Amino acid sequence: MSTTKAAETSEFELVSGLEIHVQLNTHTKIFSSDSASFGAKPNEHISPVSLALPGALPKLNREVVAKAVRMGLALNCTINQTNFFDRKNYFYADLPKGYQITQDNKPICQNGYLDVVLGNGETKRIGINRIHLEEDAGKSLHDQNASYSFVDLNRAGVPLIEIVTEPDIRSSEEASALLTEMRKLVRHLNVSDGNMEEGSLRCDANISIRKVGTQVFGTRCEVKNLNSIRNVRRAMDHEFGRQSVIVSSGGEIIQSTLNFDAEKGTTSPMRSKEEANDYRYFPDPDLAPIVISDEWLKQLKEEMPALPAEISKKLIHDFGISNSEATILAEDAGLLSFLNLAVTKVKHKKSLINWLVGPVRALLSDREMEIGNYNVSPAQLAEVINLCDDKKITQQVALQQLLPELEKREGSEATTLARELNLLIEDNQDELNNFIDQVLQKYEPQVKAYKNGKKGVLGLFVGEVLKLAKGKADPQKVNALVQEKLS
């Protein structure tokens, strides 16, 4: 039973909170100088600290703290200027020390919120309970050998922040919207690449149900290691249906940790749910408390970039564009930077917006490249747009011929190159009338149809004239001349 269907017929409502693990994009690990990059050979990025050899001591990476604070500020959190690390004790083969260094009672950020916009336009505020710092564990590989499991400790000690929400989520759509916004934020703030496929962004979902109208929480189950937004939705929908059936039939939900089978779309028990006292938290004696001075916090606040929501509002105000156009630009730092560099050089700002969110973005998408790698400068694109707006070249010719040539000829002026390539519109009305006569003669049956009221064939005539003109004619002018001839 899906959440959507169940919500329409069920007496229950979903109650969920997410634990979002964000792998920070620092060059080195949280407590050592080992590389934190992804994709190395197994156990290539290790040291005595990663291996937890006797006598090895951790040393905190300052940039980890800065990135956590940036995320806390973006999520409207209180920053705890004095916070400390704890040891969380449990055993896994890929956890060399037998404990994880994390934060328990005094996390770096607390009591925030994030507003997300749902599909119906409604804004939902989801509380952020805390953000805490911790180290990642290694990775166990069970499919390399029939007799043994292998351990890769490259990931051990890679810095994480865990963002824990309040149980404010009431549907899989809200969870999806929240994760989508989180991924945008970590990328925008350069905190993480947010790549769920590589594990840079992972999510555990705490899921329970309760009768509609009641305030008492039900027994929750935690679905672990969801690695895509789609799987979060699927797991949440499945659990809502599963728990609804159990409670409706008089059964009880057993608090447990669940695994999600992405192929089947179902959950299954991994183990009974641990409580905090099972982990025997205590302050880490090898690490001094983190003290964030007033001066450093002030500096971090001043260095915070404008957030996507603020940028969207400003773009809508400054350019009079739609919310969807503003969102595209606000969420793509490269495209926004290009816009700011080109806008002073175009005659019509809206034309620049149309080009960037339309054909230019489509071109970049086809090539799977960022605009920073596009070999046409903001000034060159602005000149091309001005040529089109001044009816000196058609957009089709600009896209298909002029821009590709500009890419090859670095530093060339668009107007000079268009003239050199004979791409500029030639305002020769006698020649155009000749082309129109040829086309109307060729399509006599369609001309009769047009005169009998079938106005849709006008596009055929205009297109054929433009072909004969080899794109060097203004489509609007051709359209007017063809209609004049036909009348």
> What number is the average pLDDT over the span 292-317?
92
pLDDT digits (tens, 9 = 90+) for 253-271: 988 899 999 889 999 988 6
Cβ 221 vs Cβ 207: under 8 Å: yes
Strands 221-226 and 256-261, by their bridges, are parallel
Q: Give the pLDDT confidence score for residue 470 in this predicted structure.
A: 72
Between 41-55, 252-266, 343-357, 462-476, the lowest mean confidence (pLDDT) is in 462-476
389-399 pLDDT tens trace:
988 888 888 99
* Displacement of CA 212 from its chain's centroid (Å): 33
Residue 428 has pLDDT above 70, yes or no: no
Phi and psi dihedrals of 274, rounded to 5?
-75, 150
Sign for the pseudo-dihedral over CA of 275, 276, 277, 278 = positive
Least confident residue range of 136-145, 312-321, 458-467: 458-467
Q: Phi then psi for 259, rounded to 5 degrees?
A: -105, 145
- Taking a C-beta distance cutoff of 8 angstroms, is the pair 299, 116 a contact? no
Which residues in 39-60 are b (16+ Cβ under 10 Å) and which e?
eeeeeebbeebbbbeeebebeb
Residue 8, pLDDT score: 46
Q: What is the pLDDT of residues 74-126, one digit of tens each?
A: 999 999 999 999 999 988 889 999 999 999 999 999 999 999 988 888 899 99
β-strand partners of 268: 259
Q: What is the pLDDT of residue 7?
A: 42
The mean per-residue pLDDT over the stretch 465-482 comes to: 74
What percent of the chain is predicted at pLDDT more than 90?
60
CA distance 324 to 316: 10
Tokens of 23: 């792998």
Could you identify the residue written with the tokens 């990059």? 37
Given this model, what pLDDT does residue 273 score?
Answer: 56
pTM given for the model:
0.77
Token code pair at residue 99: 């404990």
Task: Write out the two tokens for 215.
Answer: 């305030």
**Residue 445 has what pLDDT?**
81
Please enumerate in sequence order all residues whose Cβ is within 8 A of that of 6, keeping only pairs 6 or more positions apart, or say none: 12, 240, 241, 244
Is the pLDDT at 2 greater than 50? The verdict is no
pLDDT at 9: 53
Lowest mean pLDDT among 241-255, 361-375, 456-470: 456-470
pLDDT tens digits along 192-245: 988 888 888 999 999 999 999 898 899 999 999 898 999 999 999 999 999 999
β pairing state of 78-79 and 109-117 = antiparallel
For residue 393, how many other CB atoms are within 10 A of its CB?
25
- Give kind and range of the element (H or E) at residue 132: strand 123-135
pLDDT of 1 > 60? The answer is: no
Closest CA to 137 of 152, 127, 121, 125: 152
* Per-residue pLDDT tens digits for 35-44: 999 889 999 9
Say yes or no to pLDDT of 6 above 50: no
CATH topology of domain 429-486: Arc Repressor Mutant, subunit A (1.10.10)
CB contact set of 399 (below 8 Å; sequence gap of 6+): 359, 363
Q: Average the pLDDT over 262-291 and give the result.
A: 84
In tens, the pLDDT along 397-421 reads 899 889 999 999 888 899 999 888 8
Buried b (16+ CB within 10 A) or exposed e, 138-174: beeeeeeeeeeeebbbbbbbbbbbbbbbbbbbbbbbb
- Calculate mean pLDDT across residues 318-326: 88
Mean pLDDT along residues 169-193: 93
Q: pLDDT at position 36, please?
A: 93
Q: What is the pLDDT of residue 241?
A: 93
Strands of 198-264, DSSP E: 201-211, 221-226, 256-261
The mean predicted confidence, pLDDT, of the chain is: 89
pLDDT value for 171: 94
Q: What is the pLDDT of residue 232?
A: 94
Residues of the chain with CATH 1.10.10.410: 429-486
